[in-house]
Amino acid sequence: MRGADYIIKKAAFAIATIFVAITLNFILFRLLPGTAVTGLSRVPHATPALRHALEVEFGLDKPMWQQYVIYLENLFKGNWGISFANQQPVWSNLRTDLWNTIPMVLLGTVVAILVGIATGIISAWRRGTKLDQVSTNTAIAFYAFPTQWLALVILILFASYLPSHGMENDFLLNPTPWEHFKDVMSHMLLPSLTIALTLYGEYTLIVRSAMLETLGEDYVLTARAKGLPQRTIVRRYALRNAMLPTTTLIALSLGYIVAGAILVEDVFSWPGIGLAVVDSVAARDYPMLQGAFLVLTISVVFFNFVADLLYFRLDPRIKE
């Protein structure tokens, strides 16, 4: 019963969070000056009648509360709206963007997790040595670097050797599936490398801190007193118990995979959901922005909920 109460409370909190996020999502974008139709005033053939017709078509002539009610009704019906920019369904646009974003960000995140966990374990194991100092300082440096600055540095250093724009080579005509795969992977390397370098420092520091805390516990001291090898102590006792905060961090990172890295995609012109957000902001495309941030909200809240369930599974103190 204790477990059921815990899960129900966490699920209710997740649903309430999504509803609040949906409301803020609707309000915040409409606080920005101008609309998708306002920018047409600079277009010579955009007459006041045309702009008014577009406002009626997009529902921008209605009061704010009425727009909100219509937005909620459509949302619960599964209708995310029509993009102002290309007149296509929002979900159709986002689905294409997501298929482009997820592999690129997932590759960088997986590399960051593996490298971060490995360097964190080594730093904790060799605490106080030169190796620990180099590893920790490097992790702090990459963790502190602004994402867009690091992306630009990588772009400058490697643009001569690897593709740095877009997702595929437009001049590669009728490629075979293998040639297309290699082309996409070569374009994916630089943005994925940027994401990996941005994230790995966080994992290194978290794993190192958790390992050092675990290595000071009484059961680890008892294992050392028994004469167990250091590697056995690290692998069997310290690492297993230090994975609790790391597991949570991984679950939260997976939530942000769906959002992509807006700045990284903008620098490398990667046609994913991050670049779509940038273009939608410039076009005041409310439906696309609302849809993109709704996907982000649901993914983050869902993986937070997964992290809570993992905590309940891994930490027996929650069941008490």
- Tens of pLDDT, residue by residue over 65-76, are 777 887 787 777
CA distance 291 to 29: 12
Surface-to-core class of residue 108, CB atoms within 10 Å of its CB (0-12 exposed, 13-18 middle, 19+ buried): buried
- Identify the residue with better confidence: 61 or 293: 293
CA distance 29 to 24: 9
Residue 176 has pLDDT above 70, yes or no: yes
> What DSSP state is assigned to residue 41?
G
The count of structural domains within the chain is 1
- Residue 121 contacts residue 239 (beta carbons within 8 Å): yes
Residue 43 has pLDDT above 50, yes or no: no
Over 151-213, what HEC string results? HHHHHHHHCCCCCCCCCCCCCCCCCCHHHHHHHHHHHHHHHHHHHHHHHHHHHHHHHHHHHHH
Over 71-126, what HEC string results? HHHHHHCCCCCECCCCCCEHHHHHHHHHHHHHHHHHHHHHHHHHHHHHHHHHHHHC
Both tokens of residue 309? 């369930």
Rounded to 5 degrees, what are φ and ψ at 80? -90, 5
Give the residue among 176, 245, 168 at the shortest CA–CA distance from 213: 245
- What Å distances lie between residue 300 and 249, 285, 293, CA to CA? 12, 23, 10
This prediction's pTM: 0.76
Rounded to 5 degrees, what are φ and ψ at 79? -100, 110
Least confident of 157-166, 186-195, 228-237: 228-237
- Identify the residue with better confidence: 251 or 179: 179
In terms of residue numbers, what domain contains 157?
2-319
| Model pLDDT, residue 54 | 59
Residue 6 has pLDDT above 60, yes or no: yes
Torsion angle, alpha carbons of 298, 301, 302, 304, to 10: 160
- Residue 145 contacts residue 214 (beta carbons within 8 Å): no
Give the residue among 315, 120, 126 at the shortest CA–CA distance from 211: 120
| Model pLDDT, residue 301 | 84
pLDDT band at 46 (very low <50, low <70, confident <90, very high): low
- Residue 242 contacts residue 210 (beta carbons within 8 Å): yes
CA distance 306 to 185: 30
Residue 45 has pLDDT above 50, yes or no: yes
- Tens of pLDDT, residue by residue over 251-287, are 777 766 666 578 888 888 888 888 888 888 777 777 7
Give the residue among 125, 130, 133 at the shortest CA–CA distance from 208: 125
| Model pLDDT, residue 56 | 62
- Identify the residue with better confidence: 54 or 84: 84
| Model pLDDT, residue 35 | 59
CA distance 47 to 191: 43
- Residue 201 contacts residue 137 (beta carbons within 8 Å): no
CATH of the domain at 262: 1.10.3720.10
- Residue 274 contacts residue 262 (beta carbons within 8 Å): yes
Least confident of 31-45, 198-212, 223-237, 294-308: 31-45
Residue 179 has pLDDT above 60, yes or no: yes
| Model pLDDT, residue 82 | 77
- Tens of pLDDT, residue by residue over 77-95, are 777 777 777 778 888 888 8
Mean pLDDT score of the chain, rounded to an integer? 79
- Identify the residue with better confidence: 87 or 208: 208
| Model pLDDT, residue 154 | 92
